[in-house]
Structures are given as C-alpha cells and as structure tokens.
Amino acid sequence: MYPTHYYQSIDSTNIKARELAENDAISGTAVVAGYQTRGRGRLGKDWHSVAGKGLYCSVIVRPGIALEDYPKITLVAGLAAARTLDRYAGKTSRLKWPNDVYFAGKKIAGILTESSALTKENQRNRYAVVGIGININHSLADFPQDLRENVTSLLLETGSVCSVEEIFLAVRRELLDLLQVFEVDGFLPLLKEWRKKDFLLGKTMRCVNTAGKKIEGLALGVDDEGTLHVRDSNGDSHEVLSGDVRLASS
C-alpha cells in the first residue's frame, strides 16, 4: 500500500505533492482532493474543479531511469491514464501530445507533470510529481459553457456513475507499472503503444513552442525521444519541445 493523503479541499494537489516529495516521501505517495481552489493546468492555465465529481490527484514517482529520460514520464503518465480510461469506458481513447486524453475529439483528462530540478547535482532527491485530472461523474452542465463542446467525462461516455476512488487506485497502479516497464525494457515499448493512440498524427495543427514561435503545419508524430514534429507549408520540419498544441480548425 502506498501512502495516500486525502483532502476535501486543497489549493492544488501538485503543490502539496511537491512539498511531500521535497520532504522525501516515497515513490507512489499520492495526494487526492475532492476539490481544488487553485487547480493548475499546463502552460499556466487553470484547471476547473467540480467538487466530488472529478479525480484530482498527484502521484510522486521516482523511477530508476536516466536523468535525461525524466521528461518522457509525461508521455508515460498520459498512457497510464488512457489505458485506465479505456478499460472503464470500454472504448479506445486517443492521446493528444504530450498527454491529454480524448474520446472522440473531446478531452476527458489532463496531466501536469512537474519534476525536481533536473541537474546532475540533484541526485539525492530526484522525483516527478504527476498531477492527473480526470472528468468522471460530470454532466455537461458541470462544465463552463465555453468548454461544453470540447469536453467529456466517464459518466457521459458510459452512462454510469463511477467510483472516483477506484479510478484513482487504478490509474496510480497503471502509472507505477508502466514506469517499471520503462526501468526494465526502456521507453520504446511504451512509445510504440503511445503512437497507436496519437490523436494529432496527420492533422493540421498550430502550436507555440517554448521559444514563443508560432508554427502551423502537419503533425508528423513523435520521435524516439517523445518529441513532436510538425512540417510547415514550406516543407520545413520543426520540433515542438513543448507548447500549446491546437488543431488548426480550433
């Protein structure tokens, strides 16, 4: 049994998990909240929480992988969430790089991975906090009006209410299992499965990379390092190291 810290309400489970990780919490330790007052998404966005209806959790992981492989944890986390949701929904999800989970073009889960400072000196307390938000028992009215066309939940997909606790335990188990595969067999077997779920592949998309450069082009898929590539209208390929990836039609 891994330690789990439950909160009815908290600012952000990621903030609490980082605090615990800095104080040497073991791998697998998780923070779960019924509601977040300052839920955070990627790229500084907010993550909308609905009390008791979604899964808001952060799992501390300390995989025995090379320092330079730590950024790949984010793709592995997406795969863990996708596998879990496929099982519960009885259908196949897609992954929008780097790790959003979609059913039929609608987002059901998002992941915010934050790592300890990635320096060679920081060997002693190396960790990543995998923050997972999953829409579970939301009906459409639970989402802000402007999001309703683009989101879904397990309830909306299956017509049944699911146990948030059960999904939490399943997704943590899946994440830890996949990281063990990473340790033993490397990243490629996981990447192979990730590629089968690639939502953006072959689609025209816009993205903004960390350097702030706007690129519009055709998604070419991810390379063996997990980096997304796009080809623009001049035929030039670009690496998207990180960024807000959108379909050109959105």
Q: Is 56 or 182 the residue whose CB approaches ligand BTN more closely?
A: 56
User: Helix axis angle, 188-196 relative to 73-89, nearest 10°?
Assistant: 50
Q: Is 42 or 72 the residue whose CB approaches ligand BTN more closely?
A: 42
Smallest CA-to-CA distance from 196 within 94, 126, 127, 53 is with: 94
Helix/strand/coil for 192:
helix
Q: Is 67 or 241 the residue whose CB approaches ligand BTN more closely?
A: 241
Does 100 bind ligand BTN (CB under 6 A)? Our answer is yes
Does 47 bind ligand BTN (CB under 6 A)? Our answer is yes
- Which one of residues 133, 217, 226, 243 is an interface residue with ligand BTN (CB under 6 A)? 133
Q: How far is the CB of 231 from ligand BTN (least distance, A)?
A: 25
- Which one of residues 20, 95, 111, 151 is an interface residue with ligand BTN (CB under 6 A)? 111
Structure tokens at 219: 């998604």
Parallel, antiparallel, or unpaired: how do β-strands 106-115 and 128-135 relate? Answer: antiparallel
Q: How far is the CB of 47 from ligand BTN (least distance, A)?
A: 4
How far apart CA 132 and CA 112 sit, in angstroms, is: 7
Structure tokens at 76: 């592995």
Please identify the residue of the shown chain whose CB is closest to the bound ligand BTN: 110
* Long-range contacts from 212-216, C-beta under 8 angstroms, 24+ separation: 215/240, 216/248
Q: Is 42 or 197 the residue whose CB approaches ligand BTN more closely?
A: 42
Looking up tokens 């592995």 gives 76
Element (H, E) at 18: helix 13-22
Does 60 bind ligand BTN (CB under 6 A)? Our answer is no
How far apart CA 243 and CA 43 sit, in angstroms, is: 8
Smallest CA-to-CA distance from 36 within 18, 19, 20, 53 is with: 53
- Which one of residues 24, 45, 166, 189 is an interface residue with ligand BTN (CB under 6 A)? 45
Site string for ligand BTN, 5-44 (x = CB under 6 A): -------xxx---------------------x--xxxx--
Q: How far is the CB of 160 from ligand BTN (least distance, A)?
A: 22
**Interface ranges with ligand BTN (CB under 6 A):** 12-14, 36, 39-42, 45, 47, 56-58, 100, 110-112, 131-133
